[in-house]
Structure 1
Amino acid sequence: MSPEAQAPDPDAQRGQQERLRELLRRGTAALLGATIAVTDAEWRAPSRLPGWSRGHLATHLARQADGLRRLTGGALGGHPQAMYPSPGQRETEIETGAARTGLELQIDLDTSAGLLEQAFESVQDGGAWDHVVELRGGLRVPARLLPLARLLEVVVHHVDLDVGQEVGDVDDATADWLLEWCGFRLRERDEFPRLELLSPTTRIAVGSSGAPRAVSGRSAALLGWLTGRTDGADLDGADGLRLPAF
């Protein structure tokens, strides 16, 4: 079955497209609010991602928004576009952008997020949510899943910025959507153990290697463990499991 056919249907999740986009707007506003007071020195300091400063992360988030906007343009125009011009250019832009001032980084984060929201609105108005786009790495999905892809970036990198947000702070509705997205992305990865993730609000299958194993806990805790942000100590059934990089 093709990835497009396997893509989760937003109607089957607890919310419609507008609900998802509202969660994204809230997550983006929270990230922007948390970083508004970050000083130039703090932007240059290490983030929680090895080898990246907070400036690297901010630049990555802004360029990822630009990349998703390219995909929406392709969906609207009927001419598919690459998310990034080239891997080398993406890396160069992140490296050079990381050295900017805090004000420049903040403006870039805000502006790129606003333009992406406008692009999503155009896709909505143009009835192009079902047009297929190709994410970095080759994953083909309907355009309606792009807000979900963006939500994951905003939520996990807000944590990675180390400005006060922790995975445990993620609300259940957001975590449930993101677990659905993670499950979709990981379902066919041969090296990923076959897991059944159980929380009070959702149930997701991921991976394809070995016998199924159940892991349970709060949705936010499952999300943190699955994405490598936590060690799973607050989950039941995760003992002894070492997950590949997300």
Structure 2
Amino acid sequence: MRKAWSMRHGNELPPGQRRVEGFPRFGTHLSRPAPPVPVDPAIEVRGAVTKEFELPLTSLSSLPRKEITADFHCVAGWTATGLRWEGVSFATFYRAVLEPALPGGTSITHVTCRGLDGWKATATIEDLLAEDVLIAQNLNGRPLDSDHGAPVRLVSPSQYGYINVKHLSGIELLTSAPANTEGPLLRSHPRGRVWAEERHGLLPGRVVRPFYRALIRPIRFLSARGARDRQPERPRSSN
């Protein structure tokens, strides 16, 4: 069963955002091709669980499907509008797969998501259980390609792109907020909510807008080079 859902504020964009055409490539691998997809992709679950385990992505097919239409907001200031994502609600995934793996009485406060590209982001359980958060497999009616997070990715439209981990391969359940190891200059906000303009962990969003926007042009250059150099995708061995 597939449930459709739409999250829009009319034609309004969050503070400091500008609409762009298409959906730009972004990520830690900008200047090189995205990481290859394993032969048997899985999500490793660790942290406060009774026993760590790996969940094959094929298991997602047994969970209810959900489709949302939402905008995607990069912390640098651009917004891609009207994207149609399809996958499994994170709340459904949490209650069906993650919650049963917890010892009795365990209270989860944060979740760290990790991608095949090495990127990781931590979000509060409150934010991830929102109605519009997905583990997405499809974008605009087609399976995710490597530029946008194949084989699956986290999609949280109410938060900036750095929370929306691509190539999702690991989930860690936490009972408290992890220590912040980022430096003060590029310290990301721990929640990154777009309508509150939570761009930076220490400074108001409007203060850092010019700095982030200055990064858009070099990021576009690196993204184009990485996409151009992309080789035909071949599943990699899981060994």
* TM-score where L is the length of structure 2: 0.31
Q: Which has the higher helix share?
A: 1
**Greater relative contact order (Cα 8 A, min sep 6): structure 1 or 2?**
2
* TM-score where L is the length of structure 1: 0.30
